[in-house]
Structure 1
């Protein structure tokens, strides 16, 4: 993560190597040390970024995968270029394997099949 981009103190960012990790269907608040004028997401189907105020970005995981986040100032200079990993929150899930089939159950509070996971993408 660059020195200019830091997670808000109330929400700690998880790092996966040099990637900023965001859980699917969750938001993460990022604070900047200078105002942002333009926000670019490499793949908008994986993540979304919203400018809350000139120095606060809200990053939301949309679907599983990786993309990047580029932030530019009003002169077009790069403030940050961060790689993003969107993954499932493993804390409340159960994986069920039946020979070649697999399912992921989201257990919050009752276990139900996770609607966003496809069998071929369950291991990602």
Structure 2
């Protein structure tokens, strides 16, 4: 009797470990990261499209692009309506070569490699685009 209980306990422990959430996908702002799609995606849902965007290339591949700093989530639904992937996306600053200049509520981004050049438009402190330079 002990052996079947031990086997069942070990099997349930293995299943619980497999069901844990995948680690967060970290994407630098204004850059893209490839993502493998399991079992062909029917629907790709992003929690906050101002933070990240997803482009599906084919049934097995997608690209996640960082649009704004922050954290959002990605959910992929298959042909049968099942959730096949649920992952947190963290859009962060690039490791090097980028400078943010903050003037009051406006944030200006610059790409720097030898010299600095403006990278995109200004953003206000709330994350929206500012019409003024």
TM-score bracket for this pair, using the shorter chain length: 0.5 to 0.7
Q: Please, what TM-score do these two structures have when normalized by structure 2?
A: 0.63
* Stretches of structure 2 lacking an aligned partner (at least 5 in a row): 1-17, 127-133
2:131 corresponding residue in structure 1: none
Structure with greater strand share of residues: 1
1:22 corresponding residue in structure 2: 27
Q: Secondary structure at the match of 1:76?
A: coil
- Cα distance between partner residues in 1 of 2:54 and 2:100: 30
Shift of 1:108: 2.8
Structure with greater helix share of residues: 2
Offset from partner CA, 1:22-79 (integer Å, 9 cap, x none): 0111111111241111000000111111110011111111111110000010111011
Q: Please, what TM-score do these two structures have when normalized by structure 1?
A: 0.67
How many equivalent residue pairs?
A: 104
1:83 corresponding residue in structure 2: 88
Asked if the contact 2:108–2:121 (Cα under 8 Å) also holds between the matched residues in 1, the reply is no
TM-align CA RMSD: 3.0
Match 2:53 to one of 32, 48, 61: 48
For the pair shown, the structure with the greater C-alpha radius of gyration is 2
Q: Which runs of 4+ in 1 moved over 2 A?
A: 93-97, 102-106, 112-121
The answer as to 2:41 corresponding to 1:36 is yes
Task: Tell me: CA distance 1:119–1:107, structure 2 relative to 1, closer, same or farther (3 Å).
Answer: farther
